[in-house]
Amino acid sequence: MARPKLNFLTDLVQAITGGDKQSRATVAVDEKMARQALSRPAPERLIAACEVLMGRIGDAARVAVAEQALEAYGELDDAQKAVFFAQLRDGFNADPDAIRTAFSTYDADPTAATLVPLFNAVEPPRQTLLRRLNTAPNATLKLVHMRADLLSAMRTDPSLAPLDADFEHLFASWFNRGFLRIERIDWSTPASVLEKIMGYETVHPMKGWQDLRRRLDPADRRFYAFFHPATGNEPLIFVEVALTRDTPAEIAPILTAPRQPEVEDATTAVFYSINNTLQGLKGVSFGNFLIKQVVAELASELPSLKTFVTLSPAPGFAAWLASGDDPQAAELAAELDLGAWLTDKDEAARLKPQVDAMAARYFTQARTKSGAPRDPVARFHLGNGAAAWRVNWPGDLSDGAINRAHGLMINYLYEPARIEAQHEAFVRDGTIATGAPLAAVLSN
């Protein structure tokens, strides 16, 4: 721990060492007291700092205390974090009496004017606390990581959900699309950012720097990411694009093809990998904005581009096939699991019509209880207004894709003139737009 800056920490020291509020002002805090206080266990220092932050502390002092709080948080282990989250949930809650009073006034005369005090009473002090923690240097990323810890803790203790609601509410405001900036990632990007990118790529993992370079340096590739000013060099989401002359059905050629020196004839932009990076930003969506903006940038830079399409995984296909929702599915799943098709072309050719048909059903008919498409990637692209264009089997022979989707891939088509209507139809009544190739399979 760096030398504590004693200025501005008087309140914190007093809060840690105890003593009632009245007596605090009269106790002079000397360096010895401060050192003792700042050597107390991290959970004590943290909760004391949170209490001080909620008190009548000056704005400038607040920054120093927030810094101490985040430093102490960084020293907690998982169990201590769980305790701290519960403390936040229970100890920084709204005051029921204040709420009842404000509600009573509102209830008698429900206007915009009486709503204001009710809103103030209802807003959990936790949100204020998180905003104050956010005044410390580099706090935003630390708070995002804190929420990732919280999401992890919630798997054991779902009762922490109210605290998560506060995080999500604040992050939606802080990570407003208006604050994001898009940046092209290429071979002149700082190595520190590229290293993060490599670590965050999970759709089609990279094997090292040469693999990375293949994806962003050649003329036939583009790579874009969103950044937020408060999280600096941390990419929030990124998309990888290949410029081609037709709509690809397999991922391997995209990942391994030799570099193309020219893109002048490219007609098609293929979005073949989209990755969110920070677990702590779950529920704060950027993907649709990013795709829209990349389409706009590419269309402007390369007028020859006419088609904007994805080459996407089908991560829920194998599970659905095996689930028995469809009587014919289980049988096909068993055959695919045997794996003979992986080496026997005839076997693959024999199975293909069945896989295609089942895949078409999967994307157009398999639904969750709430009626959404069962495939999570499908939900994202269809929700953006894309059409399910063509199923591709086998499209990806990597282990992950075999396990999750028997190697199935799909193209979603982004057709600017139709995006909005398709989006509206999807949102309103769940209509799934399909492309001609997929429709042909369905009509067989």
Residues between 116 and 145 with contacts to its own copies, criterion CB under 8 A: 116, 118-119, 122-124, 131, 134-137, 139-140
Q: Hunting for tokens 């009842």 — which residue is that?
A: 100
Which 3 state secondary structure label does DSSP give 432?
Answer: coil
Residue 270 contacts its own copies per CB under 8 A: no
Q: Of 405, 379, 404, which Cα lies nearest the Cα of 392?
A: 405
Beta bridge partners of 181: 227
Within its chain, how far is the Cα of 326 from the centroid?
32
CB closer to its own copies out of 59 and 346? 59
Residue 101 contacts its own copies per CB under 8 A: no
Which H helix or E strand runs over 418?
helix 416-429
- Count residues binding its own copies (CB under 8 A): 86
CB closer to its own copies out of 149 and 396? 149
Residue 260 contacts its own copies per CB under 8 A: no
d(CA 84, CA 65): 17
Catalytic residue among 204, 228, 381, 406: 381
At its nearest, how many Å lie between its own copies and the CB of residue 123? 6
Binds its own copies by CB under 8 A, chosen from 275, 384, 392, 434: 384
Which of the residues 412 through 441 are near its own copies (CB under 8 A)?
416-417, 419-421, 423-425, 427-428
Catalytic residue among 285, 312, 323, 398: 312
CB 363 within 8 A of CB 388: yes
DSSP secondary structure code for residue 189 in this structure: S
381 in active site: yes
d(CA 148, CA 151): 5
Residue 69 contacts its own copies per CB under 8 A: no
CB closer to its own copies out of 137 and 253? 137
Residue 1 contacts its own copies per CB under 8 A: no
State in Å, rounded, how far the first CA of the chain is from the last one: 69
Residue 229 contacts its own copies per CB under 8 A: yes
At its nearest, how many Å lie between its own copies and the CB of residue 352? 34
Which of the residues 274 through 313 are near its own copies (CB under 8 A)?
285, 288-289, 291-292
Which of the residues 308 through 367 are near its own copies (CB under 8 A)?
none
CB closer to its own copies out of 2 and 338? 2
At residue 403's C-alpha, the angle toward residues 398 and 404, to 5°, is 105
CB closer to its own copies out of 14 and 392? 14
Cβ-based burial of 323 (10 A; exposed 0-12, middle 13-18, buried ≥19)? middle
d(CA 273, CA 268): 15
CB 257 within 8 A of CB 219: no
CB closer to its own copies out of 134 and 354? 134
Q: Of 155, 185, 399, which Cα lies nearest the Cα of 282?
A: 155
Binds its own copies by CB under 8 A, chosen from 78, 107, 265, 301: 107
Residue 232 contacts its own copies per CB under 8 A: no
Residue 157 contacts its own copies per CB under 8 A: no
Encoded one letter per residue, x for contact with its own copies by CB under 8 A and - for no contact, window 42-61 reads --------------x-xxxx
At its nearest, how many Å lie between its own copies and the CB of residue 372? 14
Q: Of 76-84, 167-175, 299-307, 340-348, which segment contacts its own copies by CB under 8 A? A: 167-175
At its nearest, how many Å lie between its own copies and the CB of residue 404? 27
At its nearest, how many Å lie between its own copies and the CB of residue 225? 15
DSSP assignment of 140-188:
HHHHHHHHHHHHHHHHH-GGGHHHHHHHHHHHHHHT-GGG-EEEE--TT
Q: Of 232, 252, 234, which Cα lies nearest the Cα of 242?
A: 252
3-state SS track over 101-138: HHHHHHHHCCCHHHHHHHHHHHCCHHHHHHHHHCCCCC
Q: Which amino acid is at 53?
A: L
Binds its own copies by CB under 8 A, chosen from 190, 258, 303, 327: 190
| Residues with catalytic function | 312, 381
